[in-house]
Amino acid sequence: MRRALVVATLLAALIARSAAAQQLRGVVLFSDSTTPARAMLVHALDSTGAVVARTLTTALGAFTFTLPSDGRYSVRVLRIGFRPLNVPAVHVAANGTPPLTIVLRSAPITLPAIAVRGERTCRSRTDSSLAVYGVWEEARKALQSAEAASALGNLTTEWFTYRRQVLADSGSIYEEVVDEGRGRTPQPFVSVAPESLAIGGYRRMRGGLAHYFGPDAAVLLSDVFLAGHCFALLPSATEHPGWVGVEFEPAQRRNNIIEITGTAWLDRATAELRLVEFRYTNLPSDVQRAGARGRIELVRLPSGEFVINRWFITMAGVQETRRETREFGLLHTDARRVVTHANLSGGELRAARVAGLEQYALPNAQVTLTLAADSGTVSTAFASLTIAGDANLNALTDSAGVARLVGLEDGDHLVRIVTPAMRDLVARPIERRIRVAASGAGRAASITINERDLVAAVCGAEVARRGNALIAGVLRDGDGELAVSDTLDVRWTKAPKQGEQLTTEPREWNGKRVSTDEFGRWAVCDVPRPAMVAVLRLGGDKPRELVRARLSRDRQLVRFELAHKSP
């Protein structure tokens, strides 16, 4: 055992020494041979030309590769907007290799100016003479840079993510979960292996539910994605002036296989990838019309690293409905698919630091929007803001009610607001207009909301105008679980005449019967003020009163957190 332990220890030491020695180091400098080239993408290639390692240069232009074995390796430096720089192969030995000094002298690339949509091309990317693949390679550089920046571990970020279910008829957020995170670059989509997507498509059925996957960087960079899609160049669009697009679509349509089609948009002046938009294809026509798409935005930090700063996927939700009709004594059943809601998931980068020093700089002019309330009963913290007409432009207020909208053009905009209380009430969004000016104070706006706004969002403008109240709440059972499909009797008294006082034991009650939804929520509109209010749970031998309270003249919204115990 001692002899075996000694041998194992010696082997481990030799392996560690060999692994440490099989490294290739170097530095990349700009053409003046002095200035370090930071955040350059560097590849190590073996004798077959396959990429075996990649990294980004540091603030000093340095890079280090740990290679799988001894042998000859060449180095390729990729700089966005420039042609690749290939360094002749060197022999990497176990006892060490002298560091390389690489000076950037490659020529810049000019992206083509496109007036009309280019020809659809379904060839191998090895045909470098095709302009469309030259543009696609620039997009791939940015995606590779973002992946390498995350793998290095010296980039720390803060972000928030959200998952929403929005009702199709009203635009109300029926359910929303918001999370905050920090760490390395956030991963917008949990995808699967590119080879698996190429075979089975971008949808998986699990437990009777459909799960859709977005194309992450590994998918868009893969050779199987390239082989399975056709590409065409697109001219700049009205919403993207000065950009050039690479459109991609499946090379062939396959029955019952969900694919994606979309466009990668690059800034023509810098050749930097700005945006990837995609849509799911081969879906039922009603789902396709209602929206099945996604978006990934990228930004380059001042330090040179690329990060994903905003992303989302939206998918229409459908419900099967059946209607029975009788004609000539025969019973007919009609089945219909109805789009009832939209599922939206996404997120936004809040901050980024490189090596603990550099702050994330927002790439475009931003609008600072402060959401305020006129009373302490309305909270504006963590409210969702959406710009009408641009469903992908979202923001979330912080604990002080402040949000920053990035990329908002000058002019008048309609903002749709949903506070956390409104999410609980399944309220329609509150709509307000803001004006964004080119500079100065015009890029800061303030919106004030109150209880009356929330009542109007839930009950309608007429109820809010009359000054009547909204009574709502959540019901749980004795174990703290949400009480689903329980029946409540919400009662209230008539408003007292002038000079009269509210009594805790009224003789006459008005009321309304309601049921709790799958989240234990309930709401009753048009309750007069002032009044005595009581909430009773129906069931068992007799109703059981859960709460009784006064509704004063200065409260138009009252929410109860209720619990009941089984008899």
- CATH code, 31: 2.60.40.10
Q: What is the sign, positive or negative, of the torsion defined by CA atoms of 392, 397, 401, 404?
A: negative
Average pLDDT over residues 295-323: 82
Q: What pLDDT does 541 receive? A: 75
Distances (CA, A) of 177 to 399, 423, 504, 551: 16, 10, 39, 31
Q: Is the pLDDT of residue 483 over 80?
A: yes
pLDDT > 60? residue 495: yes
**What confidence score (pLDDT) does residue 154 get?**
76
Mean pLDDT across the chain:
82
| Percentage of residues of the chain with pLDDT beyond 90 | 24
* pLDDT score at 1: 45
Residue 333, CA distances (Å) to 141, 284, 318, 322, 340 in order = 56, 21, 19, 6, 21
As for how many domains the chain has, the answer is 4
Contact at 8 Å (CB) between 304 and 79? no
Distance separating alpha carbons of residues 148 and 433, to the nearest angstrom: 42
pLDDT at 123: 62
- 327 lies in a domain? no
Please state, in angstroms and as integers, the Cα–Cα distance from residue 377 to each residue in 266, 283, 380, 489, 535, following that order.
Answer: 46, 44, 10, 25, 21
Highest mean pLDDT among 133-142, 149-158, 185-194 belongs to: 133-142
Q: What is the mean pLDDT of residues 353-375?
A: 67
Q: Are residues 228 and 272 in the same domain?
A: yes
Residue 27 has pLDDT above 90, yes or no: yes
Q: What is the pLDDT of residue 250?
A: 92
The verdict on residue 275 lying in a domain is yes
Residue 293 in any domain: the answer is: yes
State pTM to two decimals: 0.70
Asked which of 374-388, 429-443, 481-495, 550-564 is least confident by mean pLDDT, the reply is: 429-443
461: in domain: no
Q: Would you state the structure tokens that stand for residue 528, as one six-digit string?
A: 């007069």
Give a yes or no: residue 206 inside a domain. Answer: yes
Q: What is the DSSP letter of 36?
A: B
The residues with which 447 forms a beta bridge, in sequence order, are 371
State the residue range of the domain holding 388: 364-449
**Of the ranges 154-158, 319-323, 491-495, which one carries the lowest mean pLDDT score?**
319-323
pLDDT higher than threshold 90 for residue 103: yes
Looking at the fold, whether 44 and 140 belong to one and the same domain comes out as no
More confident residue, 187 or 51: 51
Instruction: Identify the band that residue 247 occupies on the pLDDT scale cut at 50, 70 and 90.
Output: very high
My answer on whether 196 and 252 are in the same domain is: yes
- pLDDT interval class at 129 (50, 70, 90): low
- The answer to whether the beta carbons of residues 417 and 387 sit under 8 Å apart is no
- 265 and 287 belong to one structural domain: yes
Confidence of residue 534 (pLDDT cuts 50, 70, 90): very high
Residues 139 and 237 in one domain: yes
Kindly state whether residues 396 and 428 are assigned to the same domain: yes
pLDDT tops 90 at residue 542 = no
In a domain? residue 462: no
**Residue 554: its pLDDT value, please?**
85
Pair 89, 217 in one domain = no
Q: Does the pLDDT value for residue 328 go beyond 70? A: no
Q: Are residues 150 and 273 in the same domain?
A: yes
Residues 6+ apart with CB under 8 A from 540: 567
Q: What pLDDT score was predicted for residue 14?
A: 40
Q: Is pLDDT at 60 greater than 80 in this prediction?
A: yes
Domain shared by 200 and 247, yes or no: yes
Q: In this structure, is residue 457 part of a structural domain? A: no
Q: CATH number of the domain that 495 lies in?
A: 2.60.40.1120
* Residues 356, 377 within the same domain: no
- Report percent pLDDT > 70 for the chain: 85
The CATH code of the domain that includes 396 is: 2.60.40.4130
Q: Which one of 449, 476, 499 terminates a domain? A: 449
Confidence of residue 42 (pLDDT cuts 50, 70, 90): very high
Q: Most confidently modeled of 214-218, 262-266, 445-449, 494-498?
A: 262-266
Q: How confident is the model at residue 566 (pLDDT cuts 50, 70, 90)?
A: low
- For residues 303-312, give the mean pLDDT: 84
Q: Is residue 9 part of a domain?
A: no
Specify the higher pLDDT residue, 282 or 239: 282
The residue out of 71, 92, 108 marking a domain boundary is: 108
With 0-12 CB in 10 A as exposed, 13-18 as middle and 19+ as buried, what is 491?
buried
> Domain check: are 104 and 123 in the same one?
no
Which of 108, 130, 158 is the last residue before a domain boundary? 108
Q: Which residue has better confidence, 365 or 88?
A: 88
Q: What number is the average pLDDT over the span 356-366?
A: 55
Contact 140, 223 (CB under 8 A): no
Lowest mean per-residue pLDDT among 114-128, 345-359, 427-441, 506-520: 114-128
Q: Looking at the structure, do residues 341 and 404 belong to the same domain, yes or no?
A: no
Q: Which of 35-44, 146-155, 276-285 has the lowest mean pLDDT?
A: 146-155
Higher pLDDT, residue 287 or 11? 287
Whether the predicted pLDDT of 342 surpasses 50: yes
